[in-house]
Chains A and B, each alone.
Chain A
Amino acid sequence: MRKTCLDMVYEIARKDDRVVFIGSDLGVATLNQFKEEMPDRFFMEGISEANVIGMAAGLALEGRIVYVNTIASFLTRRCFEQVALDLCLHNLNVRLIGNGGGLVYAPLGPTHEAIEDIAIFRALPGMTIIAPADADEMCRVIPLTVDYPGPVYIRLGKGGDPIVTNDLLPFVIGKGMIMHEGDDALVVTTGIMLKTALDSARILATENINVTVLHMPTIKPLDKACVLEFTARIPVIVTLEEHTIIGGLGSAVMEIIGEANFTEPKRCKRLGIPDVFPDKYGSQAGLLAYYKLTANDLTKTIKQLRSL
Chain B
Amino acid sequence: MMTSPISIKTPPTNTTPLDKRSRQFRIQMVKMLEAARRGHMASAFSLVEIIRVLYDDILRYDPKDPHWISRDRCILSKGHGALALYVLLAEKGFFPEAELWHYCKENGILGGHPEYGKVPGVEASTGSLGHGLSIGIGFALNARYLKSDHRTFVIVGDGECNEGAIWEAALAASKHKLSNLTVIVDHNKQQSYATTYEVLDLEPFAAKWRAFGFSVREADGHNVEELRGVLAKVPFDSSKPSVLICHTIKGKGVSFMENNLEWHHKNYPTASEIKALIAELERE
Contact residues of A with B, CB < 8 Å?
40-41, 43, 45-46, 48, 50-64, 81-82, 85-86, 89-90
Contacts and interface: CB of A to CB of B under 8 A. Distances in A.
Interface stretch (B43-51, B54-62, B125-133, B216-224): B125-133
B29 to A, nearest CB: 25
A42 to B, nearest CB: 11
Contacts of A43: 141
Interface stretch (B102-110, B161-169, B198-206, B251-259): B161-169
B171 A46 contact: yes
A58 B125 contact: no
Nearest to B138: A58
Contacts of B168: 46, 48, 50-51
A146 B122 CA distance: 26
Nearest to A17: B145
Contacts of A53: 134
A146 to B, nearest CB: 18
Nearest to B145: A40
B136 A51 contact: no
A278 B43 CA distance: 46
A86 B127 CA distance: 11
A58 B171 contact: no
A54 B125 contact: no
Given A40-B145, A61-B138, A85-B131, A54 B169 contact: yes
5 contacts: A48-B168, A50-B164, A58-B142, A81-B131, A82-B134
A51 B172 contact: yes
Contacts of B135: 54-55, 57-58, 61, 86
A60 B138 contact: yes
A59 B142 contact: yes
A62 B138 contact: yes
Given A50-B165, A54-B134, A85-B125, A64 B172 contact: no
B170 to A, nearest CB: 9
A57 B134 contact: yes
Interface string B248-280: 000000000000000000000000000000000
Given A58-B136, A86-B131, 4 more contacts: A50-B165, A54-B169, A61-B135, A61-B139
B117 interface: yes
B72 interface: no
A55 B124 contact: no
Given A57-B138, A85-B131, A51 B169 contact: yes
Contacts of A85: 125, 127-128, 131
A56 B136 CA distance: 10
Given A51-B165, A90-B125, A58 B116 contact: no
A203 to B, nearest CB: 50
A38 to B, nearest CB: 11
B117 A54 contact: no
Contacts of B125: 85, 89-90
Nearest to B127: A85
Contacts of A54: 131-135, 137-138, 165, 169
Contacts of B160: none
A285 to B, nearest CB: 36
By Cβ-Cβ distance, the 7 closest A-B pairs, closest first, are: A58-B138, A54-B134, A51-B168, A48-B168, A62-B142, A58-B135, A59-B138
Nearest to A54: B134
B172 A62 contact: no
Interface string B163-202: 0110011011000000000000000000000000000000
Contacts of B158: none
A55 B130 contact: no
A196 to B, nearest CB: 39
A161 to B, nearest CB: 33
A85 B79 CA distance: 13
B3 to A, nearest CB: 29
A73 B123 CA distance: 30
A57 B130 CA distance: 14
A227 to B, nearest CB: 32
A51 B166 CA distance: 8
Interface centre among A50, A62, A81 (most CB of B within 10 A): A62
Given A41-B145, A90-B117, A56 B138 contact: yes
Nearest to A58: B138
Nearest to A63: B142
A40 B117 CA distance: 28
A115 to B, nearest CB: 25
Nearest to B141: A59
Interface centre among B133, B137, B169 (most CB of A within 10 A): B137
Given A41-B145, A46-B171, A90-B125, A55 B137 contact: yes
B118 to A, nearest CB: 11
Given A51-B172, A57-B135, A59-B142, A90 B164 contact: no
Contact of B172 (A40, A48, A82): A48
Contacts of B140: 58
